Structure 1
Amino acid sequence: MADDKRGRDKQAQDAERRQRERDIAAELERGDETEPPTDEAELDEFETELDSLTFPATGSEVVAAVGDREVESVEGAYTVEELVPDTDEERFDSPAAVRVRVQRPTIAAAMKRIVEASETLRNEELGGSQREAYEKTLRELKAIDADDEDEGIAATTDWIVERIRDKEKLPGSRAVRRQAAKFCRSNGYEVRNDDWLGV
């Protein structure tokens, strides 16, 4: 590979892609998922259906190819269209990345709303680290045992979407964590200072 700007850009993109693949593999191996497990055989079958796509693929391409496909979870059935943002801004590097997304349907549906709302912003984009922080906050809310109805996820997602519409900018990840902690405390859930939500 030539030592020019294009070659260096390609190397950087390849390194970033490999890191994302490692992150996805690590996430798939994690045993402490915050949502009930989705049937592995069904996810394998679903991932096979994605072989018709060329990766990296956009959210719009995934929805067009398998949007009407249902994914069963303990909490009910969801279509891929309900879990994956129908946008060109959302990109998946592999079928495993789509699988990771749909295996946590409550969080995926919330992130879909946030991503689609952020598309209305003119000069701002929901970057990778900010997206990860939002998602981690939602996972922490999901992990609250007493929160069976996922009220915290719904309330925090509503708050983020309202901020995007009203202020026409993405709320900072710290502000989102504060809002989630505020919800928890006002509903009697303990949030320690050393927790992710304890900001």
Structure 2
Amino acid sequence: MADDKSGRDKQARDEERRQREREISAELERGDEVEPPVDTSELAYFETALDAVTFPATGAAIVSAVGDREIESAVGTYAVADLVPDAEAETFDSPAAVRARIQRPTIAAAMKRIVEASDPLPNRELSASQREAYVRTFRALEAIDGDDDDEGITVMADWIVEKIRDDEKIPGSRDVRREAAKYCRKHGYEVRDDEWLGV
């Protein structure tokens, strides 16, 4: 492409088009998400309780400081110790990171079980991308399984914990997505190839 006004204009238009496509794609992904069941005012009140904790802090330090504090959600009441792993392998950079974790209690409880199961392993830490993939898989299950008390999330957390104990390693995100897709199809939910679980 020539480096003249016409070429630069075309490059700018192409970049604007790609940016719009990315924004539309991101909005479509967010549009399918289920609203977090914990009220934001409840989370803000909880975040002030974390003032006593020095960040970055491990999950064990947070549980020690505020583990007995209860969080009200649309589906029930949870103690912080039920949602944050009591483990050294999990580190939170700020109160906002803890808040983000507990705003979806079912997913937080599943991730707590996974982190605590992996804590005794020599290479126990979940990478940020692997953690995000697990959470994204749980959100996909939450979205399709909204009427069944998030049974899919519980089933997948059980499967991951069992794999950690049997194989003594953390299963890859692709294996988790593949197993979640099997669960969905077994229970009559369609999983398209262009969806997150469609591996």
Query: Which TM-score band applies after superposition, normalised by the shorter structure?
Result: 0.7 to 0.9
1:146 deviates by 5.0
1:101 equivalenced with 2:94 (yes/no): no
2:131 pairs with 1:131: yes
- Give the drift of 1:147: 4.4
**Could you tell me how far apart the structure 2 residues matched to 1:102 and 1:152 are?**
19
Distance 1:154 1:31 in 2: 24
Q: Which structure has the bigger radius of gyration?
A: 2
Paired with 2:197 and 2:31, the residues of 1 have a C-alpha distance of 21
On the 8 A contact 1:68/1:81 being kept in 2, the answer is yes
Aligned length: 170
Report the counterpart of residue 83 of structure 2 in structure 1: 83
Q: Higher mean Cα deviation, 185-194 or 51-60?
A: 51-60
Whether the 8 Å CA contact 1:121–1:169 is kept in 2: the answer is yes
**Structure 1 unmatched ranges of 5 or more:** 1-29
Is it true that 1:153 corresponds to 2:146 in the alignment?
no
Deviation at residue 41 of structure 1 after TM alignment: 1.8
- Shift of the alpha carbon at 1:148? 2.4
Q: After superposing the two structures, state which structure 1 stretch, 138-147 or 56-65, moved more.
A: 138-147
SS in 2 for 1:47: helix
Q: Could you tell me which residue of structure 2 aligns to residue 178 of structure 1?
A: 178
1:61 alignment partner in structure 2:
61
Task: Return the offset for 1:40.
Answer: 1.9
Distance 1:33 1:54 in 2: 32
Show CA shifts across 1:106-161 (max 9, x none).
00000000011111222343211111111110111001155422111111111101
* Aligned match of 1:74: 74
| Residue 82 to residue 146, structure 1, CA distance change in 2 (3 Å) | closer
- What is the identity percentage for the equivalent residue pairs of Structure 1 and Structure 2? 69
2-structure distance, mates of 1:62, 1:124 = 19
How large is the RMSD of aligned CA atoms in angstroms? Answer: 1.6
Structure 1 residue 32, shift from structure 2 partner: 6.2
| 1:51 and 2:29 are equivalent in the alignment | no
Query: Which residue in 2 is equivalent to 1:165?
Result: 165
The residue type equivalent to 1:168 in the other structure is E
Give per-residue Cα distances to partners, 1:67-100, cap 9 Å, x unaligned: 0000010110000000000111111111111111
TM-score by length of structure 1 reads 0.81
Q: Find the aligned partners of 2:35 and 2:165 in 1 and give their Cα distance.
A: 29
